[in-house]
Structure 1
Amino acid sequence: MIKRLVMASNNSAKTREIQRVFKVFGMPVVNYRELIDTKQFPAETTLDQYANALGKAQFIQQFLPNENILADDTGAYFEAFPDRFGLTTARELKTLGLASIREENEYLLNLYTPTMDRHAYLEALLVLVTPTGDVISSTGRGGVALARSERGDYSIGFDRLFEAENGKTFAEMLMPERIIYSHRGRAAKKILQELKHDD
């Protein structure tokens, strides 16, 4: 019986979000930095989402071989910009020198004209590496469109921009509702079902 998962990430905001998601399902998640010193992850690819997540999980497992190591790789996809963003969204926005999450959201919103296609979604891929070397993965897609302005106070970042099938942004939903629609909520549910099945 798995008692906790260890998150392979140096991104504190991502870790907090994933902790909140898995908490609803009753699974504790700790960041690896609570157990060992901070590590510098190998460079990620721009095309292979699975390789990115697996590489992060296997890298941290070297230092914590008795833990179940979880890693995430998430991309943002916009129908209006098929040749931009995707797995490189965070890196692309970072290179623009934007000073805050709010500025990143404003930048994306300002790319659109009133008539442009606003279909968009987030896709999370979770990979779990067990102490025995088994690998379990799951993918979740959330969001159907980009809102015309930021909405919601229950979360920050892209959660205030991406609308789900119910017409709400992720930030307009409390976590128990959000996990039903969000990319990470859907991926987490699948991976926990796989873990239960393997037990």
Structure 2
Amino acid sequence: MQRLILASSNLGKLAELGELLTPSGWQVVVKPADLEIEETGLTFRANAHLKALGVARATGEWALADDSGLEVRALAGAPGVYSARYGATDSERIARLLTAMQGKFDRAARFVCVVALASPTAIVLDAEGTCEGEVLDAPRGSAGFGYDPIFWMRSLDKTFAELEIEEKQSYSHRGRAVRRLIDEMRRLGLPERTD
């Protein structure tokens, strides 16, 4: 089975990606802990490409990277590509966002995820997934990570932090992006059989 290096240190992302990639035909492996790729892109796609190609080149193996974040309409799309850097911890990021949202009537938000697949020489594929919702004024639920406790889906009347992992993956931006990527990989015959 061909190895696929996950270009992330985020434990929440790694758990979700590992589950989502199970049907892909790859042996999923976490990148070396000391291998860090700086996110200097101005878009989710640019950052996903930087990380996937950087890890693929450094390891000489195929790599998959995810760049994702929360875009809030009332904040002109912030925190956006800076979602992970909006504070030092999930709690700090949520508190900062809730402070910025005080007095805002428009609570519309969306999660965006771009996943990129790279060989050691080039970006091969990428796919984007989005999920529409709203920002609550206080956290609800204890599952998930990041902004999950304040991201509410009207159709479910639940936050991402109130969903079981399988249910979250069926609706989430990351689940949608990875399923699209797997469909494209299959269309291209990836991973190639090595036996």
Aligned to 2:185: 195
Rounded to whole Å, the distance in 1 between the matches of 2:24 and 2:162 is: 20
* Partner deviation per Cα, 1:6-25 (whole Å, 9 max, x = no partner): 11123334323322333477
Does the aligned pair in 1 maintain the 2:5–2:56 contact within 8 Å?
no
Aligned to 2:62: 68
Aligned to 2:115: 126
Aligned to 1:57: 52
Does the aligned pair in 2 maintain the 1:72–1:126 contact within 8 Å?
yes
Q: TM-score, normalised by structure 1?
A: 0.81
**Aligned 1:75-154 pairs, distance under 5 A:** 75-82=69-76, 84-94=78-88, 100-113=89-102, 116-130=105-119, 133=122, 135-154=124-143
The total of aligned residue pairs comes to 188
Listed as ranges, the gaps of 5+ residues in structure 1 are 95-99
Deviation for aligned residue 1:126: 0.3
Deviation for aligned residue 1:154: 2.4
Greater shift, 108-117 or 135-144, is seen at 108-117
Aligned to 1:180: 170
Rounded to whole Å, the distance in 2 between the matches of 1:83 and 1:57 is: 24
Backbone CA RMSD of aligned residues? 2.4
Q: Which runs of 4+ in 1 moved over 6 A?
A: none
Listed as ranges, the gaps of 5+ residues in structure 2 are 190-195
* Partner deviation per Cα, 1:141-199 (whole Å, 9 max, x = no partner): 02311123211222232111112242221111112211121110111110011111111
Deviation for aligned residue 1:121: 0.9
Rounded to whole Å, the distance in 2 between the matches of 1:64 and 1:103 is: 34
Flag the 1:109–1:26 CA change in 2: closer, same or farther, 3 A: farther
Q: TM-score, normalised by structure 2?
A: 0.83
Aligned to 1:40: 36
Does the aligned pair in 1 maintain the 2:129–2:174 contact within 8 Å?
yes
